[in-house]
Structure 1
Amino acid sequence: FWRRSLDHMVVPMLELCSDRILCVKLVFDDSALFIFSVYLPQQNCHHTTFTETLDILNDFVERISNDGNVVIFGDVNANLGTLQGSHGVGDTQTQSGIELHNFCLSNELWAVDTNRATLGPVHTFEMLRNGNYYRSYIDHIIVSLPLCGNVSECVILDNEPGNTSDHLPIITTFRDLTSVKHVIQRNDCVGYAWNKLSSDEIKSTYTSSLDLQCKGILNDLRLIGVNNLENCQIDSYILKLVNGLIECSNAHIPIKKFSKHVKPFWNDELTRLVKLKKKRWREWVSAGRPRNADNVIRAQYKSAKCAFRKCFRCSEFMYEQNELNRLYRSESLDQRYYWHLLNKSRNRASRRLSPIKSDNDVIVSDEAGIRDEWRTHFARLATPSDKPHFHSHAKCEI
């Protein structure tokens, strides 16, 4: 809800909404602000549910990345820890927090409530269970980087009389949002994602804008006369035409944001499956998001999503296994190269178990296999042996 005096500025964005995401567009004179209210799946849900919802939010943000700045707030059910700021670091970051942090980095967003200047308690959620209080920091206000400089105050309210929720309210005050211009930086652009727009969207935005650019150039040429053009004038108009193409593309066409170094295991099969998954998702949304189990469109979407996740996990696992095997093979060859690979394979933000090498020189990385290897190792240590393989000097000291 918003004040009636803002009705002329607020535009509901139904195409950017889902079961857990709502969006409105705040229109200023020469800029726009997209405000998302989100409720991401909690930790009791399957983690893939959180990932899928975050993927939907990421798709929404990418679609409007050229049109204005973004504010995202709500119960994101993700603890960022120290990944973005020092406020509210009672617990280490969760896996959901790591994924949310990567989402923020890829879209140039920041959780302003984690800044050191934030006032109030260092938690946003508290629950009384069996006489004990459980606290966590799972609510955030995430904004585009250009807006961070206009934050004048951020406060987490404690003991608010009107608050009946287990979550504490967060209030963020901005200075003059209308003065913040949305800057599109495409100097290092690797390509345009034409596939993210339909033909109608391209015609209504890119084509119409390019027509206006070309009409101005053609009118100038008609006034001068083509036969009277000098070489320098031809170069000048070619440059104007190229700049017009680049300007229209930057303003209306999304860029490709995929970074190979983030997912080095990515392959052609994953590309095919993710395109199919997005296609099925758009068909499911166009059909009104049917929920009944016997719906064909819903079944196709679920099947495409399952196939992509299965291939994704398999490709990631195989890549990690190959890297670990390469790491342990290099241990006896080149110490500098070995430590380079070892430091490269470490992930401070990961909660995965460290892999081990069994007595048979097999790299074991899954939880059950590691547990069995340690069980075998300690069982062998605790079993008396008659073999004379011991340190005689140590035996005398003992």
Structure 2
Amino acid sequence: MRGFEPNKFYLFKLLESVDIVAVQEHWLQSFSEHKLTELKDTHIVYAKSFDNGLSSPSLTRRGKGRVALFLHRRFQAACAIVDTTSNRLLCAHICDKDCSGSLLFVNVYMPSGSSAADQAEYADILTEISSLIGQYPSAKVILMGDFNADITGLPSSWNRKAQLLQHYLTENSLVSMMTIYQNSSDYTYMSDDGSKKSYIDHIITHSANVGSFFEYMVVPEDPLNTSDHLPIQASFMSHLHPCKEARQEINMTNHKYNHIRIKWNQASSQEIQEVYSTAIDDICDQLLSSLPDEASLTGKHAEYMLNTLSQAMLNVSMRNLPYASGKKRKRQKPEWSTSVDSTYKAMKLSWKKWKLGGKNRSQANPLWIRYRSDKAAFRKQLRKQRHNLESSRLLQIERAKKGDDRLFYKLIKERRSRADASPVDTLIVNGKSYTGKATIQGFEEYFKMLSMPNPGNNYQSTITDTVEKLANVISTCTPNQRPFTRTDLDKAIGQLKKNKAAGADQISAEHVLFGGEKARNLLLVIMNTFVAHSFIPDAFKYGIILPLHKGNGKPLTDPSCYRGITLSSTFCKVLELLIKPKLLEQLHLLLLLLLILPPLFSEISTKMQ
């Protein structure tokens, strides 16, 4: 990391999308470790500094090296820190409440020197890691950090530390994920002058656990990263399930939803096949190979596989295909041309440099002057583009007025709709006023109130009776009959509509349609398991409510004048489309029996008389 202070903005950026972050060389002394905790409240932090355990405070200007581990808060209740002798090690053990599975994370910062004392300390730390692993023989072990040893290339070129590390890995059946995923051009360390590059940072696990990893990459250069190291990012499968209460708390408090929309129409079919479908097939191949027998599969196992598949689909599509997110909606506006985008990126880059330089507004500061100049250029280009766009619209209206009345009134209607499409800034719920960003909370209170049962009516009992009757019909037509076939699944997926908004899991219909053959095979196993065990995953229970105004001059401040449209999970729609034909088949059979049997019984009774 090469210091927390100059890289805290980059670390904050990494924490927005990663559950676990291992940091080396934060350069903080023990009395400054609170800065790590204050960085982002979604993660808990465990840290060690070089002066931990010293009898007297250190008088050095800054701390030396040492480690920190960021864990998402949903793992807090299941996490325990394991004591270590060396302050170069930080070990965390995470397990389920019933101890059915566990993970052992070891964050390490190895000595960088080449002296005999450094090599001896290197060997001692490896010995202590073996002791830590021995304390948890059933845990899945993941070692990560700066090992200061490059084990790429020919063994004859390795230094003593690289030889020690490779010997240790071989003896303990461990493997660096770098040896499986590394490209020839990858490196994790580069000297200040750029003359030396090496691969000295590693993520290490037992060889039996290699199949659990479905993504591994060296994160590219970023202007916010001032370190001489590049981070390694990996995704792996785990059977750990955070507690239900923690998931509910996170979902209820996170009002700001960042919607991600993959621009599938901007990529050709061949490109989607190469960069998305093939990658998903490789991941699903690993998932299928790790599946136990179908007879021993449970609903929880299937839910875990579904969550892993959806996360892989989202990660691969975002990494390889163009997308837009809620945080960048201005880029979706018509005036956001290529020239505007280039000046915006130049302004953003100069702003980051000025921010890293201490935000000095002095006229003698070249970073401040460059940022102001780029900002002025961006605004000028944006105004120019808006003017050109407005002129072309007016010209189009003038031309349509002379020869095409239908097009003329269509353009006028679009212009008026665009002028009227202003977001609601005030909402009144039960006499309480919500303004600005608080209107989201107002809508939440209103729809929560609608979902609560009213003691004055019998809607709840009626709905319960109807659902129970429907459940009885479903139970007779699904689990006791043949499971879904691949033909059933293909037909269900074929009914999904493209260019529709995704649900809370961000998975759209295109993610499933372009998933590939092996993705469909895995999805078939998952859906059959859900039905066989009458299991509903948590992802199917969440939706996003979009309040759409009913129009016709109704007041914007009244929430009852809005229609709540719920965006549900695409995988949930697939399951519904699988069950629907079987359910209709049974209902048609029941209806046929009701039509045939009464006349038949009547005829029999007549003959008996």
**What is the TM-score when the length of structure 2 is the normalising length?**
0.26
TM-score with structure 1 setting the length: 0.39
| Greater helix proportion | 2
Q: Which has the larger radius of gyration?
A: 2
